Homo-oligomer: A and B are copies of this chain.
Amino acid sequence: MSDVSLGKSVAFRGGGFAPKPHRWVGVLVFISLILFAEWGTRTGWISALTLPKPSDVLQTFQELYDSGLLFKHLAPSLSRLIVGAAIGASIGISVGILIGLFSYIRSGLVPLVAAIFPIPKIALLPLFVIWFGIGEGSKYALIAFGTFTPTVVATYGAVDNVDRTLIRMGQSFGLSWWSIVRKIVLPGAMPGILSGLRISLAIAIILLVAAEMLGAEYGIGAYILEAGSLYDLERLFAGVVILSLLGVLVSAVIGLVERRLLGWRT
């Protein structure tokens, strides 16, 4: 304000509408929720039936780790997750690309995928037993089936969204059909496919529990189911926390892949 008599400053009216993350707030929220639960369960204000003591959950976790059972449960679950999701995602991406490229395949398969999408996978458990047995097969199949539909939808959406001028450019330089698909359509669809995978993999984790309903002795899902049937809340929560961490981990991995593969995005 060099000389106020000259006039008044222009009022500021911008800013806002651009939330910036403050990391520590997230951590704080988690910590205070846990402390609140601990306090509530300790004082009895929250009954033992409603929530387990967070410290007990931690202890259960510790025991699980010490006894080596953690890895005994984690290993089969991870292998189911990886194999199932790999099958479902790869078939889903292939089918999605075919739908994105060919009129007849699109017309034939899109309604089918739309019809399959809202089918709950647990409803099909009895059938999966017959179709794929109660071994690893049915678990892979269930997870694959669950990841398949969202992957297909995301993939053909991504192919549809590939910039058409890029494709016309390829044609105008006389590139072969296969070159255009390989060098333009696929890389162009990659961002959409990866963000679809984020959802598909979250669904795969969710389906782990359903998959391990079928004759799984070990596995995080089986562990959770057993805890549920025994109404053992500490173990139930320990299992849920593992799945939740797994989800956060998978999402972080995809974020990493995105940063590596999609560095070209603005």
A interface residues, Cβ below 8 angstroms from B: 13-14, 16-30, 33, 49-50, 99-112, 114-127, 130-131, 164, 167-168, 171-172, 174, 177, 180, 185, 199, 202, 205-210, 221, 224-225, 228-229, 231, 233, 236, 239-240, 243-244, 246-248, 250-251
Contact = CB atoms under 8 A, between A and B. Distances in A.
Contact of A19 (B101, B225, B246): B101
A80 to B, nearest CB: 14
A127 B21 contact: no
Contacts of A115: 30, 244, 247-248
Contacts of A101: 17, 19
Contact of A239 (B26, B123, B207): B123
Nearest to A168: B14
A122 B209 contact: yes
A122 B122 contact: yes
A22 B103 CA distance: 7
A120 B120 CA distance: 13
A109 B29 CA distance: 8
B104 A243 contact: no
A37 B225 CA distance: 35
Contacts of A248: 114-115, 118
Nearest to A98: B19
A129 B122 CA distance: 19
B26 A240 contact: no
Given A19-B102, A123-B228, A127-B233, A243 B110 contact: no
A177 B174 CA distance: 53
B21 A103 contact: yes
Top 9 nearest A-B pairs (CB, nearest first) are A118-B247, A25-B107, A26-B111, A120-B209, A29-B108, A19-B103, A22-B107, A118-B205, A120-B206
